[in-house]
Amino acid sequence: SDSGESDRALPNILITGTPGTGKTSLAEISAQATRLTHIDVSALVKENSLHSGYDEEFDTLVLDDDKLVDELEEKVSQGGKIVDFHSCEVFPERWFDLVLVLRTDNTILYDRLVERGYNQNKITENIDCEIFQVVLEEARESYPEEIVVELQSNSVEDMESNLSRIQQWSQLEGLALAH
C-alpha cells in the first residue's frame, strides 16, 4: 500500500459518486467558497484524450488509467485540490485526505439522467450502479474507512449542508478563505 503521511502542504478532497449525483455542482461551489481548486476529471479525460477509445454500447469513453494518473500526479501532489470523478479505484490512496461519496434516491437520479439526455442503456447502468452502491463499496475498498464519508445529494438543502461540511473541514485544514 502507498498510504501514510504525505509531503503535501495542503490536503486534497475527492468527490465521487454515480453520474448525476451532483459531484460537479458541489465541487464548483466548494471551490468558490474555499481555497480548493476544482479538477473535473471527466472534462480532463475528454480534453486531453486520456482514453483508449469509445464504447458504443455504453456510450462512454474507455479510460486510460495510466495516462490519467500521470496527468494528475503533479497537480494533486501540490495539494489543495478538489477532484471530481465517478470512479475512485484508479487513484492512488495517498492522494486524498477526505473522500466524499454522494448518494441520490433512484427516482431523483433517474430524472436527472433523463434530463442529461442519456440513452436507456446508460440510464439503467447508472441507476443499477447507485442501487448496488458500487461507488461507495469501491471507495471503502480503496481508502481508509475513517476518511470515507457518505453524503446524501437529493436536494438543494443537501447541497448546502454538504458545502458547509466542506467549508468546516477546509477551516480545520487551513484552506478556508479569509473573510
Closest CB 89 distance from ligand ADP, rounded Å:
17
* Reduced DSSP (H G I as helix, E B as strand, rest coil) percent helix, strand, coil of the chain, to 5: 50, 20, 30
Q: Which three cell numbers stand for residue 147?
A: 476518511
By CB under 6 A, tell whether 39 contacts ligand ADP.
Answer: no
Residue number, nearest CB to Mn ion = 24
Closest CB 42 distance from ligand ADP, rounded Å:
8
Euclidean distance between CA atoms 49 and 63, whole angstroms: 9
Give yes or no for a contact between 93 and 1, defined as CB atoms under 8 angstroms apart: yes
By CB under 6 A, tell whether 21 contacts ligand ADP.
Answer: yes
Name which position in 11, 20, 79, 80 contacts ligand ADP (CB under 6 A). Answer: 20
Give yes or no for a contact between 4 and 89, defined as CB atoms under 8 angstroms apart: no
By CB under 6 A, tell whether 30 contacts ligand ADP.
Answer: no
Name which position in 11, 22, 79, 80 contacts ligand ADP (CB under 6 A). Answer: 22
Closest CB 2 distance from ligand ADP, rounded Å:
27
Q: Which three cell numbers stand for residue 9?
A: 502542504
Report residue 108: phi and psi, to 5°.
-70, -45
Q: Which three cell numbers stand for residue 162?
A: 454538504
By CB under 6 A, tell whether 87 contacts ligand ADP.
Answer: no
- Cβ closer to Mn ion: 40 or 150? 40
By CB under 6 A, tell whether 16 contacts ligand ADP.
Answer: no
Name which position in 9, 156, 172, 178 contacts ligand ADP (CB under 6 A). Answer: 156
Name which position in 25, 60, 77, 167 contacts ligand ADP (CB under 6 A). Answer: 25
Per-residue exposure over 44-78, b if at least 16 CB sit within 10 Å of its own CB, e if not: bbeeeebbeeeeeeeebbebbeeebeebbeeebee
Could you tell me how many residues of this chain bind ligand ADP (CB under 6 A)? 14
- Positions touching ligand ADP (CB under 6 A) are 17, 19-25, 112, 153, 155-156, 158-159
